[in-house]
Each structure stands twice: as C-alpha cells, then as structure tokens.
C-alpha cells in the first residue's frame, strides 16, 4: 500500500512539474526572479519532448507501481496520462514536436513581456 501511495505522490509531482514547465513563466510576470527556476525546468521539458527522452520520474512511478503489485506503463508520462485526454489517438512524433513548440511559444511571449517590464 505504501508503494502505491508513493507512486501517486510521484504522479502528482510529475503533473505539477509539467504544468510548471508549460505555465510557470507566468509566475515571472509577477516575480521576475522566478525565471531563474522556471527557465531550466522549461528547458528540461522541451529537451524531453524534442529528443523523445523519458523523464526520470516515469520509471520511478512505474517501479513503485510494480512494487505495489500494480501494472506500470510503457512510454512517458505525457503519453500515458495527458495525451489520452487531449489526443485520444495516441502520441506521434509530430504531436511531441507540437507540444514542445507550444511550450516554447508560450514562454517566448511571456518572457518577452517580462524582459520589457524588467527593472533588474
């Protein structure tokens, strides 16, 4: 039971990280120094998508689920949890590149605004 609960905690943390990667730049609109935390996280998220890597949190969650007697899953977090909601047809390379491009586009706009407002 503890492994199942730990896997759920990893899942929630992973989801929070994905949301932070996509929208965390908005924090920099209010607190410009948030960029020092968000930009490396966004860079990591973009690299994961561009190079088709698996985030280290995915195997950790899967290992915990298997230890709890549950089934793990193949592929990555986004492919398993997010895409079935957004794109029921499944993950393709084009979808991954589109997701990465969306993260880049959203954050470029946000950081352009932050940069114009900055009073470092």
Write the CA distances from 45 to 49, 82, 118, integer angstroms.
6, 14, 25
Provide the pLDDT for residue 102: 87
Query: How much is the pTM?
Result: 0.74
CA distance 77 to 62: 10
- pLDDT tens track for 2-23: 988 898 888 888 889 988 998 9
- pLDDT tens track for 44-100: 988 988 888 888 988 898 899 889 888 777 766 666 776 566 555 666 788 778 888
The angle, 0 to 180 degrees and rounded to 10, between the axes of the packed helices 57-67 and 2-23 is 160
Nearby residues of 111 by Cβ (< 8 Å), 6 or more positions away: 25, 28, 35, 39
Rounded (5°) CA angle 79-68-41: 40
């Amino acid at each position: 039971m503890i492994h199942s609960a730990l896997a759920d905690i990893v899942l929630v943390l992973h989801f929070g990280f994905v949301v932070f990667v996509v929208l965390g730049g908005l924090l920099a609109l209010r607190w410009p120094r948030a960029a020092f935390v968000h930009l490396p996280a966004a860079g990591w998220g973009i690299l994961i998508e561009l190079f088709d890597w698996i985030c280290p949190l995915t195997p950790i969650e899967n290992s915990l689920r298997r230890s709890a007697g549950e089934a793990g899953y193949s592929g990555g977090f986004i492919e398993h949890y997010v895409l079935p909601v957004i794109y029921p047809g499944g993950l393709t390379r084009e979808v991954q590149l589109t997701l990465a491009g969306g993260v880049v586009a959203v954050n470029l706009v946000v950081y352009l605004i932050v940069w114009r407002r900055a009073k470092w």
